[in-house]
């Protein structure tokens, strides 16, 4: 039988990619999709120019990939899913997308859970990406071990340790980020000097929450989406300076694409590949500019939104396909559920 996906209140669906050019809008292929779940082969080629799949990929046969996404609409499936299925079929990979879990999917070579899956012994031998296997602190730790440029962060246990960190950063204010934070809720500019200082937060957990150095140069957030080491796309979120009164509000909703330089691209790709070993497939990196450098301030590895799919649908489809193929080529790095 099928069971509904389970999602916590602070989670939304998992997205999977954009690239650097503006694509044509799609005109719908819903009639080609089976009503219950999506399993598409032999779809017609859509017009347009697509980036080529990376060289070096071995031919695949009878490979099965399943994506579970509780926002999936079987009546009018998103173009990204439909086009991905067509592209993957060319490489011998069968893609199924479903809003419900089914035990029929236990035989899949790779499961991408855009939502939390129910804990079940039946899953023990499955290779699964997309679950919340890392917290805010451990994601940053993993990026640091890769040698990536990460904004200075720490997990002090008390006011004295926070004082030490603030002095090392030469800071009069730092940023407190709780592990549970989402959409700028649970993130605070935290004074550490003068009369505005607050008592050390009693609910701070140094194992998953962090204090981070405040980046003053540019308030915008530079986002890079990846999957299995493949850069899917990059765009700017016009976030506001935390010193402003209504800094949590974003008034401009347009997404402006940008292209990371080669060094940053290689750095982010390395972290993304490394995260496969922790069960993280799609990873959305948040970066801020500091001088001429981009510093990682956050990485989202589960429950991430797909709003930008509508901005660049062909790009998402092309690059997410490439990411899935890259993941399959590295399948042994992806842990089984029992691990």
| Model confidence pLDDT, tens digit, residues 42-68 | 333 333 333 434 434 556 678 999 999
pTM for the full model?
A: 0.81
- Does the structure show a pLDDT above 80 at 281? yes
Q: What is the pLDDT of residues 55-112, one digit of tens each?
A: 345 566 789 999 999 889 999 999 999 999 999 999 999 999 999 999 999 999 999 9
If phi > 0 it is left, if psi is from -120 to 50 it is alpha, else beta; for residue 279 that is: left
More confidently predicted of 52 and 317 = 317
For 324-334, write each residue's pLDDT tens digit. 999 999 999 99
pLDDT band at residue 256 under the 50/70/90 scheme: confident
Instruction: Indicate if the pLDDT at residue 339 is higher than 70.
Output: yes
Q: Are 275 and 296 in contact (CB under 8 A)?
A: no
What does residue 86 show for φ and ψ, rounded to 5 degrees? -65, -45
* DSSP 8-state assignment for residue 93: E
Residue 80 CA to residue 171 CA, distance in Å, equals 44
E strands, 99-229, in order = 100-102, 110-113, 128-129, 153-154, 173-182, 185-191, 210-213, 221-227
DSSP H helical ranges for the chain? 79-90, 136-145, 159-168, 262-275, 313-329
Q: pLDDT confidence of 251, banded at 50, 70, 90?
A: low
Quote the tokens at residue 242.
């935390």
Task: Give how far the C-alpha of residue 112 lies from the chain's centroid of Cα atoms, to the nearest Å.
Answer: 12
The mean pLDDT of 273-283, rounded to a whole number, is: 95
Q: How far is CA 275 from CA 97, 226, 250, 268, 323, in A?
A: 23, 11, 30, 11, 13
CA 316 to chain centre: 13
54-to-48, 194, 231, 326 alpha-carbon distances in Å = 18, 55, 12, 9
Whole-angstrom distance, CA of residue 320 vs CA of residue 18: 8
Residue owning tokens 């009878």: 62
> What is the C-alpha to C-alpha distance for residues 194 and 52, in angstroms, rounded to an integer?
56
């Amino acid at each position: 039988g099928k069971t509904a996906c389970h999602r916590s209140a602070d989670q939304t669906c998992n997205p999977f990619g954009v690239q650097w050019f503006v694509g044509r809008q799609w005109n719908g292929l819903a009639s080609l999709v089976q009503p219950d779940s999506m399993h598409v082969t032999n779809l017609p080629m859509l017009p347009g120019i697509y980036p080529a799949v990376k060289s070096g990929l071995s031919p695949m046969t009878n490979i099965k990939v399943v994506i579970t996404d509780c926002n999936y609409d079987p009546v009018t499936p998103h173009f990204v899913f439909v086009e991905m299925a067509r592209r993957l079929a060319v490489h011998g990979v069968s893609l199924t997308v479903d809003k419900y879990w089914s035990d029929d999917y236990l035989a899949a070579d790779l499961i991408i859970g855009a939502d939390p899956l129910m804990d079940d012994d039946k899953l023990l031998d499955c290779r699964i990406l997309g679950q919340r296997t890392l917290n805010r602190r451990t994601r940053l730790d993993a990026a640091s071990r890769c040698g990536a440029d990460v904004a200075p962060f720490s997990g002090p246990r008390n006011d004295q340790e926070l004082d030490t960190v603030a002095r090392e950063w030469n800071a009069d204010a730092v940023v407190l980020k709780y592990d549970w934070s989402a959409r700028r809720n649970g993130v605070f500019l935290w004074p550490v000097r003068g009369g505005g200082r607050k008592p050390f937060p009693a609910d701070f957990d140094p194992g998953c929450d962090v204090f981070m150095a405040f980046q003053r140069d540019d308030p915008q957030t530079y986002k890079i989406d990846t999957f299995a080491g493949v850069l899917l796309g990059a765009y700017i979120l016009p976030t506001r300076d935390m010193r402003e009164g209504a800094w949590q509000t974003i008034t401009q909703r347009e997404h402006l694409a940008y292209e990371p330089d080669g060094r940053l691209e290689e750095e982010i790709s390395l972290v993304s590949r490394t995260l496969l070993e922790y069960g993280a497939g799609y990873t959305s990196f948040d970066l801020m500019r500091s001088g001429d450098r981009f510093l990682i301030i956050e990485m989202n590895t589960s429950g991430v939104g797909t709003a930008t799919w509508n901005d660049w649908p062909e790009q998402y489809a092309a690059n997410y396909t490439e990411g899935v193929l890259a993941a399959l080529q590295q399948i042994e790095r992806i842990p089984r559920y029992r691990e």
